[in-house]
Amino acid sequence: MTSEELKQLYFDFFIGKGHTIIQGASLIPQEDSTILYTPAGMQPLVPYLLGEKHPAGRRLVDVQKCIRTGDIEEVGDSSHLTFFEMLGNWSLGDYFKRDSITWSFEFLTSGEWLGFRPEQLHVTVFAGDDVVPPDEEAASIWEEVGIPRERIYFLGRNDNWWGPTGNTGPCGPDTEIFIDTGKPSCGPGCKPGCGCGKYFEIWNDVFMEYRKTAAGRYVPLERKNVDTGMGVARTVAMMNGCETIYDIPQFRPLFGFLKKLSGLGSEPDDQALRSLRIISDHIRTATHILGDDQGIPPSNLDRGYVLRRLIRLAVRHGRKLGIDDPFTSRLAEIVIDAESPVHEELARNRKFILDELSMEESRFEKTLQSGLREFEKLLPNLMRNPARTIPGRIAFRLYDTFGFPVEFTAELASENGMTVDMEGYVKAFDKHRELSRQGGEEKFKGGLSDNSEMVTRLHTATHLLHQALKEILGDHVEQKGSNITEKRLRFDFSHSEKMTHEEIVLVENRVNEIIKADLPVICEETQLENALEMGAIGLFRNKYGDMVKVYRIGDFSLEICGGPHAGRTGELGRFRILKEMSSSSGVRRIRAVLE
């Protein structure tokens, strides 16, 4: 059975039960700022679960693209993915537990539909706590349809309670359905949810009976709802008798490409297999994030940081497999070609996907090499530490100075029998962030908080911004100060009037044109007098010595400067002006980011 065949069966079944098919939503939530990506099928439907009338009616069925950022650490085992599709059927104040459970059982076990043997099914229900009672009603309905009490398990809130995606919202007990794979049990306490692989979760029926308030209270909903979720990949794996979720058709060409590229044999060892799974999952996820019509590029903030982390983890595992050449965009092409007939947005955004992956892989290669070299220099002394712990301040320095992600430091530490003092790392990071927040320009050399990769890119962008402002506003524009942290640039310049919206757009577009042109950033050391004769902008002449560094960016910009710079403008990312405001009399201020 293929994924598309499963989806069609599911739609046919629930259309027969009076449901209407609705379109899945974007991976990028449009109305909910509390989450980075759509984590579940219910998230786009929250307004309707809370009582708003849905235009398609009260019985709905759909398939929703989802990303679970909390599962990143689990990827590489037999059953976890970061990107997946979730089938769902919905009751908005219509049917409730009895119909939901009865139909789940029918679809799973009927020969007309999926045809699992009833004796393969094990279910869990909510055990109750001090706030909400046990879900005896759901357990009784399962017994009525044919699941004996010994295959019904009462579990706690961590297992059988579906909370709101943010801090507030609809929630309630759920019942989860597992397939017994036939593998040996892990011991006397083996049961669904234990993680040994014997029981494979396939479906989850959520009974939304409550709304969690900002005060933490659970208020009964006037209109009770049903939200179900069946993982497409998981179900296809079980239907095809696959041992793992990575044995389904979508992953076969990805594994084949990676094995050929790395020279792996047909039976990779456990470590290599884990790397194959991580790379395939992460690049498939990155392709769908970039390919979404609301797609965002890699960055050091929020959604962009999750995307960057996924891509860089994939590259790191590629290196572990011996893949030294760029490969992420080539792998993404396989995903696009295979999945764009269903996910048309991948074809629409093909160039953006491939360009962003190539740029990020190139950026990370520089970061990876510098960080790895520094780690290897530190390793002999670190290994002498009897506690076998890398101090948090060192892990932070690798991140701060070399842009080396702490997740990679932790992985390298684990490979060498060590751990990272994460508490110390967080303290060092928080201290750095506080200094950045407090910092006036006197705290930063040349207006820079550090020489990290992001600060370097933002610093290079100030050169482009300065010249663009001169082109759009006039030659009277001169830099009056700057302040750059890892999160943003602040640029002060001489100009007596507030910029219009049209002027801001022109400046932003001009900077992005130069970034897209991928111009080289060339440094030349020369006498100050010669630099000025060349036409280089020299803003703080009393601070320069006789010899200066001149940075030429194609034919666009020529400035005297002593700070760190990117090698090419194409490394910067997308430039966006956040705000234009007054700084002082005759001086305006721009805050901007690279995305």
Residue 576 lies in a domain: yes
Residue 128 lies in a domain: yes
Q: Which of 384, 400, 419 is the last residue of a domain?
A: 384
Cα–Cα distance for residue pair 323/373, rounded to 1 Å: 18
> Do residues 120 and 259 both lie within one domain?
no
pLDDT value of residue 82: 93
> Do residues 231 and 259 both lie within one domain?
no
Hey, is 172 helix, strand or coil?
strand
pLDDT value of residue 514: 95
Q: Which of 206, 227, 244 is the last residue of a domain?
A: 244
> Do residues 368 and 473 both lie within one domain?
no
Contact predicate 169/151, CB 8 Å? no
Token couple for 140:
């009784």
| Residue range(s) defining the domain that contains residue 279 | 249-384
Token couple for 584:
């002082």
> Do residues 226 and 256 both lie within one domain?
no
What is the four-CA torsion angle of 93, 95, 100, 101, rounded to 10 degrees? 120
Cα–Cα distance for residue pair 286/37, rounded to 1 Å: 12
- What are the per-10-residue average pLDDT scores of the chain (595 residues)? 94 97 85 73 82 88 90 83 95 96 97 95 94 93 96 94 74 94 87 86 93 84 91 94 90 94 86 94 96 84 85 90 94 96 94 95 83 88 89 87 80 90 87 51 41 84 95 90 84 91 95 94 83 76 58 90 84 94 82 93
Place of tokens 């094990």: 122
Residue 449 lies in a domain: no
Residue 432 lies in a domain: no
Cα–Cα distance for residue pair 72/43, rounded to 1 Å: 20
Hey, is 59 helix, strand or coil?
strand
Contact predicate 290/333, CB 8 Å? no
Query: Any idea what DSSP says for residue 452?
Result: -
Which H or E element spans position 270? helix 270-291
Residue 407 lies in a domain: no
Using H for helix, E for strand and C for coil, what is the string for 514-562?
HHHCCCEEEEEEEEHHHHHHCCCECCCHHHCCCEEEEEEECCCEEEECC
Cα–Cα distance for residue pair 324/85, rounded to 1 Å: 32
> Do residues 240 and 253 both lie within one domain?
no
Contact predicate 65/24, CB 8 Å? yes
Contact predicate 590/491, CB 8 Å? yes
Does residue 158 come out as left (phi exceeding 0), alpha (psi in the -120 to 50 range) or beta?
A: alpha
> Do residues 255 and 240 both lie within one domain?
no
> Do residues 129 and 109 both lie within one domain?
yes
Amino acid at 495: H
Residue 415 lies in a domain: no
Amino acid at 360: E
> Do residues 226 and 299 both lie within one domain?
no
Contact predicate 42/173, CB 8 Å? no
> Do residues 313 and 373 both lie within one domain?
yes
Number of domains in the chain: 3
Token couple for 582:
């007054």
Q: Model pTM? A: 0.65
pLDDT value of residue 560: 86
pLDDT value of residue 30: 62
> Do residues 236 and 289 both lie within one domain?
no
Cα–Cα distance for residue pair 206/498, rounded to 1 Å: 53
Residue 221 lies in a domain: yes
Q: Quick one: which of 362, 309, 297, 401 has its CA closest to 568?
A: 362
Residue 8 lies in a domain: yes
Contact predicate 173/138, CB 8 Å? yes
> Do residues 367 and 482 both lie within one domain?
no
CATH code for the domain of 210: 3.30.930.10
Cα–Cα distance for residue pair 229/236, rounded to 1 Å: 14
pLDDT value of residue 543: 42
Amino acid at 46: V
Q: Which of 244, 276, 310 is the last residue of a domain?
A: 244
pLDDT value of residue 34: 60
Residues in a beta bridge with 171: 210
CATH code for the domain of 584: 3.30.980.10
> Do residues 271 and 187 both lie within one domain?
no
Cα–Cα distance for residue pair 542/525, rounded to 1 Å: 18
Q: Quick one: which of 154, 148, 87 has its CA closest to 118?
A: 148
Pairing of strands 419-420, 479-484: unpaired
Pairing of strands 389-390, 419-420: parallel
